[in-house]
Chains A and B, each alone.
Chain A
Amino acid sequence: MKYIKHFSALVMLLAFMTSIGQESQNTILSKFESGKYTVYKLNSKKKFEKVKKAWPVEINKTGDQVTSILIKRAGILDELFEADVPGYPAYFAFKLFRVSFINDYAVYYEWNGKQEAKTKYILVKPGGSFSGNFETINKNVANYATATFKNQTGARANVKEQKAELAEAERKINSLEGKAVSKIEIQLVSNPSKVAHFSDAIQYGIVATLKDGSVLKTPNLGGKIPWEDFTLSHEGSSNTIDEVRMEEDASKVPNDQIVLNAAVKYQTSIKASKSISTTNDVSIRVSQNGFYGADRAKATKRATFGASQRGGDGDQLLIKVKTVKHKQTGAPLNKIEIYNETDRKLIAQYKLTPSTVLTINSNGGKGQWGSDGTSNSFPNGDNGGNGGNGGNVTIVKDPSVSTLNITVNNNGGKGGKGGKRHNINGTSGSVGSTGNNGTTNNQTKSVSLKF
């Protein structure tokens, strides 16, 4: 008999889930009407207890579709729950709460990112009935919601389509597509004070004048022309909308200017170009320091044993400099190439005005600390690791170079701190020795640079 009861309950549950899993709230709500609903709230013992006052519930429809549910909590607080997906709602939402109608009642619940429901109230329609426990209601409503989400594909696609249609309509109104454009012009949002490697972004927009005289602008100039209307082919900078930054590599700025180029996609003959001469006056710091002793394993990709590791040496650098004329202004510019001889790698190619500071750091890394004495058997603190040596820097200046504002820091790294002794029988470790300073070798000879 007991098994028959369980089996019946299981069959009913499955039937319930199958039936409700297929129906949207629009279908289910056809059996509901506005009115005063009996409310059961979940008490601290996780039991439902009847609330003294019934709550008015208003079901708002547009045609066959339920758009929202107004619940007047305790008859005094208005909570407007709106359909999640109009056309095929799985629930109605108010802030972080949701309401889904199933059987004779509405479940008022919280929902979390793990697809779990936590029921707060049950609102039973006039003449309806309710039975069930907290866990079952939670599971039922979660199963209903997740099953309905899967059935919402069509409705969601409709919503997406409607949004896309609106966006497309908005785009068409503002786009240059199908419009007779007489000219376009590139405008800077503000005039940049410096145009150099690592300078601030240059913000720009595009103004289009139509043949009827009307003027349209891109969003950053206060208009609405979509950037997709233009084909961009900037030179000497990133090829990005809204803002550009000068290339960090001087070989990519061949004419000492950034040239912004834009063409209308729909009328490719309508083009605009704006040239911005570089100022090459932002100070640059290049750091090729040795690693900290504690990072030796990571830097060398070789296992180390214990502390007291020596700091890494600063890299050996070869810096070639040649003075040329700015191709737009004729002012002198230092072409600078920095080659890392340790890594056999070209680090940078810059163009800087002679007075702009270039700082080169090739200091030795600091030595690692020494371990403390740990026990009576090992009472002595270890010595700190030695500092790495500063890197040797060779600066080769072409005879054309008269001024070069360069600072080289290639000091030896400091030694790591010694470990403390464990007890009076032990000795404290000594500080590691400072690494040797690197040399800076200045040469003057003819320099050939490939940029």
Chain B
Amino acid sequence: MKKQTVLTAILSLFLIVGISNTAEAQFGKKAKNALGLGKKAKNKKGKKGGKGGNFSSFNAETDEMGITGEYFGLKDPGAVGFRFVKEAEGKIVNQLHYFEKNGEPTMKLTMKESYYTKHQVKMFFNWRSASASGYAEMMEIAPGVFAIITGDRSLNKYEDPIPLDATRTVVEVGAKNKADFETWDIETAQAKVDMILSTLKSANADKVKKKLMRFDVYKNYKGKIAFAKGTNYLRNQKANQPTEKVANFITKRELGETVAFKPYFEEPLAASHPGAWFNITYEMLGETTDREALRKSSTKFSKNIPQIDKDQDKFYFWYPKVTINTSNNVADYAFLELLRLTQDKLQAGNTYDLKVTVWAYKDGANIDPVATGTIQLEYTTDENGTKKRLFDPIKGWVTVLEDYLDE
């Protein structure tokens, strides 16, 4: 019995090691495929020291970018050639030609010119196919050192690299001088690429904000929360084009009816509070409920109040939130809890201020408010109004919550 257990354990170990090696091998293959390096390695072996693989003559060439030369790989130490080509057939092309053997370039990568002219970032890209795996990018991270990058996005335009918010993974480092590999390993190259991207993203955010300021909605509501009678009034079709109509926003609503809301931020959370996510608090009649605090208070709230960990890179929530949505019977449990806590103070005919705050939340605490808004909620006097919606003995929002918490 003991022997069998030991054998099973050893077999399992082999299986695990086998799986991880396979994954590693596949990843390596993918990385090489990005620039066809695997193919080159095979050719070299086959040719037994033929012409391919020696690009030392490139080192004698000069170009205005200082790129052209013979490069070596960190993972694949074979030599390849890089040549910056500014003009071809009388036209400015600004391309990086990548050679695995002498003659025609194996790949021609296009420079993202605005990154260079505005930020002196030398970045070249190529779409071999429309899928994410067909994308290759090379970015200079130090003089004579390039990071070779893959991305997680499929083609949108052949003329453009993947967007700045895409995930870029450094899979290889190429350097003119092999001694540079003492400094530039994959992780350090990735860190440098992330730093460069951070600069580009920051500049892009400024550009996006400038564009957003053309929209009345953003101009008037940044740092605030807009309310509407339904989520449809707060939706828009295209990113960074808040076309929702201010005329559809509301400042007063019957208590128990649908209230959708959308916060607009001065800057994306990822920029203002890196590593934070969103939290929402509701305040009315001296009571406050906090989504994150409730999530941690019980399994029932934890199950029904999901973490808001999207949209950190956006200037507003892509999908509006609701306090209550009667059309699909959805409500924020934190808002319902507020109603439960304040129910004894609520009276027909009165109007109450509901303050909603969206917070930057990190390590169990609300750090800073990023948007706030107040809407007035009116407790209607008619029998089928607020009273029925909140306190109907079977289906009232507060009744349902109380029954659920009492289970």
B-binding residues in A (CB < 8 A): 41, 44-45, 51-53, 73-77, 79, 84, 90, 93, 95-96, 98, 111, 113, 120, 149, 156, 198-201, 203, 237-245, 247, 345-346
The answer on a CB contact under 8 Å between B363 and A239 is no
Decide: A200 near B183, CB < 8 A? Known: A77-B191, A113-B277, A156-B365.
no
The contact of B376 among A45, A90, A238, by CB within 8 Å, is A238
The contact of A200 among B192, B247, B274, B309, by CB within 8 Å, is B247
Give the complex CA separation of A241 and B195 in angstroms: 42
Question: Residues of B contacting A245 with CB < 8 Å?
Answer: 250-252
Question: Residues of B contacting A90 with CB < 8 Å?
Answer: 363
Interface residues of B in 200-258 (CB under 8 A from A): 220, 224, 246-247, 249-252
The answer on a CB contact under 8 Å between A345 and B247 is no
Interface residues of B in 372-389 (CB under 8 A from A): 374-376, 382, 384
Decide: A113 near B307, CB < 8 A? Known: A74-B183, A200-B246, A245-B252.
yes
Question: Residues of B contacting A199 with CB < 8 Å?
Answer: 247
The answer on a CB contact under 8 Å between B183 and A76 is yes
Give the complex CA separation of A172 and B110 in angstroms: 57
Question: Residues of A contacting B364 with CB < 8 Å?
Answer: 149
Chain B interface residue bracket vs A = 35 or more
The contact of A74 among B20, B184, B198, B247, by CB within 8 Å, is B184
Q: Which residue of B lies closest to A114 (CB)?
A: B307
Give the complex CA separation of A45 and B49 in angstroms: 34
The answer on a CB contact under 8 Å between A240 and B376 is yes
Decide: A120 near B363, CB < 8 A? Known: A240-B251, A240-B376.
no
Question: Residues of A contacting B274 with CB < 8 Å?
Answer: 93, 95-96
Decide: A241 near B198, CB < 8 A? Known: A53-B183, A201-B246.
no
B 134-152 binary contact with A (CB < 8 Å = 1; else 0): 0000000010000000000
Complex A-B, nearest 10 residue pairs according to Cβ-Cβ distance, in ascending order: A238-B251, A238-B252, A240-B251, A74-B188, A200-B247, A74-B183, A245-B251, A238-B376, A95-B274, A96-B275
Give the complex CA separation of A301 and B184 in angstroms: 67
Taking the complex as formed, is B325 at the interface, i.e. its CB lies under 8 A from any CB of chain A? no
Apart from A96-B274, A200-B246, A240-B251, list 8 A-B contacts with CB within 8 A.
Answer: A44-B24, A74-B188, A77-B188, A77-B192, A90-B363, A111-B275, A113-B277, A345-B384
The contact of A120 among B24, B187, B198, B275, by CB within 8 Å, is B187
Taking the complex as formed, is B182 at the interface, i.e. its CB lies under 8 A from any CB of chain A? yes
CB distance from B197 to the nearest CB of A (A): 11
CB distance from A118 to the nearest CB of B (A): 13
Interface residues of B in 121-160 (CB under 8 A from A): 142
Question: Residues of B contacting A52 with CB < 8 Å?
Answer: 182
Decide: A113 near B251, CB < 8 A? Known: A74-B183, A238-B376.
no
Best-surrounded residue of B183, B252, B307, B375 (most CB of chain A within 10 A): B252
CB distance from B348 to the nearest CB of A (A): 15
The answer on a CB contact under 8 Å between B247 and A95 is no
Give the complex CA separation of A45 and B384 in angstroms: 65
Question: Residues of B contacting A75 with CB < 8 Å?
Answer: 183
Interface residues of B in 168-205 (CB under 8 A from A): 182-185, 187-188, 191-192, 194-195, 198
Give the complex CA separation of A40 and B296 in angstroms: 36
Q: Which residue of A lies closest to B247 (CB)?
A: A200
Question: Residues of A contacting B192 with CB < 8 Å?
Answer: 77
The contact of A93 among B142, B183, B195, B275, by CB within 8 Å, is B275
Taking the complex as formed, is B351 at the interface, i.e. its CB lies under 8 A from any CB of chain A? yes
Give the complex CA separation of A44 and B17 in angstroms: 12
CB distance from B190 to the nearest CB of A (A): 10
The answer on a CB contact under 8 Å between B351 and A239 is yes
Question: Residues of A contacting B363 with CB < 8 Å?
Answer: 84, 90, 149
A-binding residues in B (CB < 8 A): 20, 24, 27, 142, 182-185, 187-188, 191-192, 194-195, 198, 220, 224, 246-247, 249-252, 274-275, 277, 307, 309, 351, 353, 362-365, 374-376, 382, 384
Question: Residues of B contacting A111 with CB < 8 Å?
Answer: 275
The answer on a CB contact under 8 Å between A77 and B195 is yes
Decide: A95 near B275, CB < 8 A? Known: A77-B192, A201-B251, A245-B250.
yes
Best-surrounded residue of B27, B251, B309 (most CB of chain A within 10 A): B251
The answer on a CB contact under 8 Å between A240 and B374 is yes
Q: Which residue of A lies closest to B183 (CB)?
A: A74
The answer on a CB contact under 8 Å between A45 and B249 is no
Question: Residues of A contacting B376 with CB < 8 Å?
Answer: 238-240
The answer on a CB contact under 8 Å between B187 and A41 is yes
Q: Which residue of A lies closest to B20 (CB)?
A: A45
- Listed A/B pairs (20) with beta-carbon separation below 8 Å: A41-B185, A45-B24, A51-B185, A53-B183, A74-B185, A77-B192, A79-B191, A84-B362, A93-B275, A95-B198, A149-B364, A198-B247, A199-B247, A200-B247, A201-B249, A237-B251, A238-B252, A240-B251, A241-B374, A245-B250
Give the complex CA separation of A201 and B252 in angstroms: 11
Give the complex CA separation of A76 and B362 in angstroms: 30
Q: Which residue of A lies closest to B383 (CB)?
A: A345
CB distance from B188 to the nearest CB of A (A): 5
Question: Residues of A contacting B187 with CB < 8 Å?
Answer: 41, 120
Q: Which residue of B lies closest to A93 (CB)?
A: B275
Give the complex CA separation of A302 and B198 in angstroms: 57
Question: Residues of A contacting B198 with CB < 8 Å?
Answer: 95
Give the complex CA separation of A111 and B375 in angstroms: 36
Give the complex CA separation of A345 and B224 in angstroms: 35
CB distance from B97 to the nearest CB of A (A): 28
Q: Which residue of A lies closest to B384 (CB)?
A: A345
Q: Which residue of A lies closest to B245 (CB)?
A: A200
Give the complex CA separation of A239 and B251 in angstroms: 8
The answer on a CB contact under 8 Å between A113 and B183 is no
Question: Residues of B contacting A203 with CB < 8 Å?
Answer: 220
Question: Residues of A contacting B182 with CB < 8 Å?
Answer: 52-53
Q: Which residue of A lies closest to B17 (CB)?
A: A45
Q: Which residue of B lies closest to A79 (CB)?
A: B191
Q: Which residue of B lies closest to A84 (CB)?
A: B363
CB distance from B361 to the nearest CB of A (A): 9
CB distance from B267 to the nearest CB of A (A): 15
Question: Residues of A contacting B184 with CB < 8 Å?
Answer: 74
Give the complex CA separation of A45 and B246 in angstroms: 55
